[in-house]
């Protein structure tokens, strides 16, 4: 892995941001459409892996007794701007009134930014703790949360608890340990397990709607036919997310690629693609796509790739960073220089 910049994670983030966009464009498709199962498979692992990466790079948030409040303020501003922008689109479409905006309860894409703030704020508390007790505690909290119906979208509490183990796993994981985990001999074990899980989800996903929604839809255990199975279902999903995420990392390039630039600037894509999706949704595009089956999938696949490319343009990155008060001319110059190579 590159000592100056870890292009491995840049490449991985590029793949994940594409899956985030594709997943959100598939989200409005419901019912018996086969694409619903594909969507559920993506949602099993793409955000857990993204959260893991966020935890891995959170080691610098509190260093030498100093807390990086600039990062917290950046996320807070991004969260507020994101929520306001989405509410404006909903208000213009007549779906909701702008006055119904709620900064304390989010079930959509902004939850990740709010959760990041909370996880970052806990780092001074856990930084001196041993990894195993923290990870065990967060897993217990994730499994217990499903028994409480009021643990849901308010303060993004459900996702904070359920995705928490992935964040702290990334935070405590050292680079040497990660490199050992990505050795070829482990690939021969992990990848077949992940493939089997993916095949199972694709084959039986239509029957497991509530179970597969145990994480990303904030479904409590009481939504299941048998409540007592809740912790086992959630734990199974967490293990599935862990194994699929681990398997994906074996195939990510270690060096600099065209994906690297995309992976370095995922925030504009993360914020703006959701707004574009909502505009297309309110324009009625899904009234047609819902009946097109796999043709719709390839249309949304190409659309997602195009959106990732366009929103990663240096001009878009420039404007988003201006809004979030983190615009730096050097960043834009570096982007242009990298694209010119």
Q: What is the pLDDT of residues 8-65, one digit of tens each?
A: 999 999 999 999 999 999 999 887 788 888 998 999 999 999 999 999 999 988 877 7
More confident residue, 332 or 19: 19
Q: What gap in Å lies between CA 331 and CA 314, rounded to an integer?
A: 9
Q: What is the pLDDT of residue 317?
A: 86
The mean pLDDT of 88-112, rounded to a whole number, is: 91
Q: What is the pLDDT of residue 217?
A: 58
Q: What gap in Å lies between CA 209 and CA 37, rounded to an integer?
A: 9
Confidence of residue 1 (pLDDT cuts 50, 70, 90): very low
* Residue found under tokens 């900064």: 103
pLDDT digits (tens, 9 = 90+) for 141-155: 999 999 998 888 888
Beta bridge partners of 105: 154
Q: What is the pLDDT of residue 339?
A: 54
Q: What is the pLDDT of residue 215?
A: 58
Q: What gap in Å lies between CA 274 and CA 169, rounded to an integer?
A: 28
More confident residue, 327 or 83: 83
Q: What gap in Å lies between CA 163 and CA 55, rounded to an integer?
A: 11
pLDDT digits (tens, 9 = 90+) for 18-33: 999 999 999 998 877 8
Residue of 337, 63, 40 whose CA lies nearest to 200: 40
Kindly report whether the global pTM for this prediction surpasses the value 0.95: no
Q: What gap in Å lies between CA 7 and CA 260, rounded to an integer?
A: 6
Range with lowest mean pLDDT among 172-186, 217-231, 262-276:
217-231
Confidence of residue 327 (pLDDT cuts 50, 70, 90): very low
Domain definitions of the chain by residue range = 7-340
pLDDT digits (tens, 9 = 90+) for 272-286: 999 999 999 999 999
Residue of 49, 15, 1 whose CA lies nearest to 251: 15
Confidence of residue 210 (pLDDT cuts 50, 70, 90): low
Q: What is the pLDDT of residue 332?
A: 46
Share of the chain above pLDDT 70, in %: 91
Q: Is the pLDDT of residue 83 over 50?
A: yes
3-class secondary structure for 137-203?
A: HHHHHHHHHCCCCCCCCECCHHHHHHHHHHHHHHHHCCHHHHHHHCCHHHHHHHHHHHHHHHHHHHH
Q: Is the pLDDT of residue 2 over 60?
A: no
Mean pLDDT of the chain: 88
Q: Is the pLDDT of residue 110 over 60?
A: yes
């Amino acid at each position: 892995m590159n000592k100056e910049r870890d292009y491995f994670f840049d490449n991985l983030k590029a793949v994940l941001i594409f899956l985030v966009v594709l997943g959100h464009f598939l989200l409005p498709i419901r019912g018996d459409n086969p694409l619903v199962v594909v969507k559920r498979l993506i949602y099993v692992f793409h955000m857990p892996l993204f959260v893991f990466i966020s935890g891995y790079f959170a080691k610098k948030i509190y260093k030498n007794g100093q807390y990086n409040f600039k990062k917290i303020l950046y996320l807070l501003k991004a969260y507020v701007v994101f929520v306001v922008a989405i509410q404006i689109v909903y208000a213009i479409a007549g779906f909701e009134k702008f006055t119904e905006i709620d900064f304390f309860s989010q079930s959509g894409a902004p939850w990740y930014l709010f959760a990041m703030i909370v996880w970052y704020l806990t780092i001074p508390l856990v930084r001196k703790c041993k990894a195993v007790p923290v990870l065990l505690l967060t897993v217990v909290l994730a499994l217990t949360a499903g028994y409480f119906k009021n643990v849901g979208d308010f303060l993004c509490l459900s996702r904070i608890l359920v995705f928490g183990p992935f964040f702290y796993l990334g935070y405590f994981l050292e680079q040497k340990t990660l490199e050992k985990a990505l050795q070829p001999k482990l690939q021969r074990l992990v990848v077949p397990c992940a493939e089997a899980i993916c095949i199972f989800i694709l084959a039986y996903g239509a029957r497991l709607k509530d179970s597969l929604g145990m994480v990303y839809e904030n479904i409590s255990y009481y939504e299941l036919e048998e409540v007592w199975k809740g912790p086992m279902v959630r734990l199974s999903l967490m293990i599935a997310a862990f194994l699929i995420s681990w398997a994906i990392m074996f195939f990510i390039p270690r060096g600099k690629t065209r994906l690297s630039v995309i992976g370095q600037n995922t925030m504009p894509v993360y914020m703006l693609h959701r707004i574009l999706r909502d505009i297309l949704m309110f324009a009625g595009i899904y009234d047609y796509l819902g009946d097109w089956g796999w043709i719709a999938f390839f249309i949304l696949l190409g659309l997602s790739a195009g959106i990732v490319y366009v929103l990663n343009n240096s001009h878009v990155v420039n404007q988003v960073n201006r809004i979030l008060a983190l615009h730096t001319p050097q960043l834009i110059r570096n982007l242009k220089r990298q694209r010119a190579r």
